[in-house]
Amino acid sequence: MSFEKKLPSWKSIPIGGAILKPGNFAERPTGDWRVFRPIINQDKCLRCLICWAICPEPAIYIIDKPYRTSSGREWKFTLEIDYNYCKGCGLCVEECPVKAIDFVEEVK
Amino acid sequence: MSDLWIRIPLTSNYAAAYAAKDVDVDVVAAYPITPQTPVVERIAEFIANGELDAEMIHVESEHSALSACIGASATGARVFTATSAQGLELMHEMLFIASGLRLPIVMAIAARALSAPINIWCDYSDLMATRDSSWITVIASSAQEVYDSIIQMYRVAEDPEVLLPAMVAYDGFIMSHTYEPVYVAKDRAPILEYVPKNFKNRYRLDPDNPITMGAIADPNWYYEFKYQQVVAMRKAYEVVKKADEEFGKRFGRSYGFVETYKVEDVDIALLTYGGLYGTVQEAVDILREKGVKVGAIKLRVFRPFPYNELFNAIKNLKHLVVLDRAITFGGVIEGPVALEIATLLKFKSLDTNLYNYIVGIGQRTVTESDIIGIVDHVSKLIEKNVVPMESIYWGVRE
């Protein structure tokens, strides 16, 4: 038990389990139960945004970062997965029309 | 009585409706069920004729009724509902949500037997099945006590040290449908001085200051929230007492946790709850005329269980007869209140003999002669030095 961080006493938490700070879920990563990790292959990716639209979290972001593929194609933006929130549901992997997302088992 | 009051004939159902009106409830959501229906009918009349400015939410079931009450109470509104029997059972899930969210809802219960077989008449099976729901539980013995207790329970439930829901129960039909003279307030102002409306003394849903209620609490957190409820219920013990004393000071009527009747000089007393207490008092008088010295004790508050007051009421008795109007099937003894008292006797190291009689199930009539019969029966057991290790089912046909 000693490695667990100390949680507050029953005396100092809001009664009835009320959460007093709106939007505080942003501070709480929820991706730590993932079994498989989706990894976007930026070379293969066509930027169709299907994964971005379908991610239930949503944990796939459109990043304003140009990308040049190995075959010389220029993209103005990149898609990145936020692993703090990705739960590894695999929907993006399943739906990607060019199979550009690999699903790799998490190894700790 | 002072000029505060007007004395009118009311059933316990109507007394409950008057109490809700006089504490100026904001929201009522209820579903009709025999024998509770007249409570809601009368409140609807109060709203229709302008005596009460409240929102009446018509719902399709008791589950929805309490759900609507929970939502309304979460916004800070003063909320009232009422039910009976299967209706209370249908609310069962939501009882725990109301108390878990720490919402000070007050509910009237016209106590009724549970199906099956269907029986619309009085016993306390419905109320006793809510034992562990973390609701403050009062059982009244007169329409006046129903009126006064509901008002008191708003003060208790809304106390920031407590913030738990409360129910006030009374006999279905026997009390819910019989008229008694009741003092009700001529004007609600003095009542509201006693139970001021203060919706800011608790967490509430407010669009200008949003919070989340009813979120998940994982195994690292849930236990602490339940312990908070334990502490709140313990604190309620003192708050119930003070609310009753303050009510007495202001209005001249108070009830305590436990009432005793002619127990000063006795070895045997009969303990019960609800309307039956009146019958037991009558029987005590008849027996005393015949030279049989017995007393009566009424349990008024079931949760929090008044162990100190009850200890004081029974500590000098040799024999305590508990008349239970409900059954806890498969219990060590099968009367729910007797079971509590057995625990009390053990932990307070009292050697008072406990006799548990089950009576009035499904409103099987209990008259003074039944009580006299029980005293006769228990006297014979005492003569033979027998303390039965099980409940006695009085009057069941062999």
Instruction: Summarize pLDDT for B319-363 with one digit per residue, the tens.
Output: 999 999 999 999 999 999 999 999 999 999 999 999 999 999 999
Query: In this structure, are strands B353-358 and B319-324 parallel, antiparallel, or unpaired?
Result: parallel
Q: Are B278 and B141 contacting, i.e. CB atoms less than 8 angstroms apart?
A: yes
Residues B51 and B191 in one domain: yes
- Per-residue pLDDT tens over the stretch B300-317: 999 999 999 999 999 999
Which of B251, B268, B296 is where one domain is finished? Answer: B251
Report residue B275 as tokens: 């309307």
Q: Which residues on neighbouring strands pair with residue B303, listed in sequence order?
A: B137
pLDDT at residue A2 greater than cutoff 70 = no
pLDDT reported for residue B369 = 98
Specify if B52 maps to a domain. Answer: yes
Residues B30 and B148 in one domain: yes
In angstroms, the Cα distances linking A27 to A21, B161, B189, B275 are 11, 31, 48, 56
Question: Checking phi first, is residue A99 left (phi over 0); if not, alpha (psi -120 to 50) or beta?
Answer: left
Query: In this structure, are strands B301-303 and B268-272 parallel, antiparallel, or unpaired?
Result: unpaired
Residue of chain B with shortest Cα separation from A9: B224
Residues B310 and B222 in one domain: no
- Per-residue pLDDT tens over the stretch B131-180: 999 999 999 999 999 999 999 999 999 999 999 999 999 999 999 999 99
List of chain B residues whose C-beta atoms are within 8 Å of the C-beta of residue A3 = none
Q: Are A52 and A62 contacting, i.e. CB atoms less than 8 angstroms apart?
A: yes
Q: Across the interface, which of B210, B225, B227 has its CB nearest the CB of A17?
A: B225
Q: How would residue B200 be classed by pLDDT, with cut points 50, 70 and 90? A: confident
pLDDT reported for residue A23 = 83
Domain that holds residue B198: 5-251
How many Cα atoms occupy the beta-carbon half-sphere of B184 within 13 Å? 22
Are the beta carbons of A19 and B212 separated by less than 8 Å? yes
Q: Are B281 and B332 contacting, i.e. CB atoms less than 8 angstroms apart?
A: no
Question: What is the CATH number assigned to the segment(s) A10-105?
Answer: 3.30.70.20
The lowest-confidence range among A1-15, B327-341, B374-388 is A1-15
Which of B229, B251, B273 is where one domain is finished? Answer: B251
Residues B290 and B141 in one domain: no
Q: Across the interface, which of A7, A9, A18 has its CB nearest the CB of B213?
A: A18
Residues B173 and B273 in one domain: no
Residues B203 and B299 in one domain: no
CATH number, domain of B364, equals 3.40.50.920
Residues B247 and B262 in one domain: no
Are the beta carbons of A17 and B211 separated by less than 8 Å? no
Q: Where are the beta strands (DSSP E) in A1-108?
A: 36-40, 60-63, 67-68, 74-75, 78-81, 101-105
| Spatial separation of the C-alpha atoms in residues B277 and B296, rounded to whole Å | 8
Specify if B398 maps to a domain. Answer: no
Specify if B237 maps to a domain. Answer: yes
Q: Are A107 and A53 contacting, i.e. CB atoms less than 8 angstroms apart?
A: no
pLDDT at residue B235 greater than cutoff 70 = yes
Q: Across the interface, which of B211, B227, B232 has its CB nearest the CB of A18?
A: B211
Which of B251, B281, B316 is where one domain is finished? Answer: B251
Which value does ipTM take for this structure?
0.89
CATH number, domain of B78, equals 3.40.50.970
Nearest to B150 by CA among B190, B191, B113: B191
Residues B127 and B215 in one domain: yes
Are the beta carbons of B215 and A20 separated by less than 8 Å? no
| Spatial separation of the C-alpha atoms in residues A16 and A32, rounded to whole Å | 26
Cis peptide before B336 (omega within 30 of 0): no
Residues B222 and B262 in one domain: no
Domain spans in chain A, listed from the N-terminal domain onward: 10-105
Specify if B307 maps to a domain. Answer: yes
Residues B154 and B46 in one domain: yes
Identity of the highest mean pLDDT range in A14-23, B195-204, B362-371: B362-371
- Count how many domains chain B has: 2
Residue B68 C-alpha, separation from nearest chain A C-alpha, in angstroms: 18
| DSSP sequence for B172-232 | TTTTTTS-EEEEEESSSHHHHHHS---TTSS----TTS--B-S----TTTHHHHHHHHHHH
Residue B283 C-alpha, separation from nearest chain A C-alpha, in angstroms: 46
Specify if B271 maps to a domain. Answer: yes
Query: What is the average pLDDT across B42-66?
Result: 97
Residue of chain B with shortest Cα separation from A11: B228
Residues B305 and B171 in one domain: no
Q: Are B266 and B334 contacting, i.e. CB atoms less than 8 angstroms apart?
A: no
3-state SS class at B358? strand
Residues B180 and B270 in one domain: no
Q: How would residue A27 be classed by pLDDT, with cut points 50, 70 and 90? A: confident
3-state SS class at B379? helix
Report residue A88 as tokens: 């590894």
In angstroms, the Cα distances linking A67 to A42, A74, A82, A93, B149 are 8, 6, 18, 21, 73
How many CB contacts within 8 angstroms connect chain A with chain B?
49
**Tokens 């007394």 belong to residue:** B15
List of chain A residues whose C-beta atoms are within 8 Å of the C-beta of residue B159 = none
- Per-residue pLDDT tens over the stretch B111-129: 999 999 999 999 999 999 9
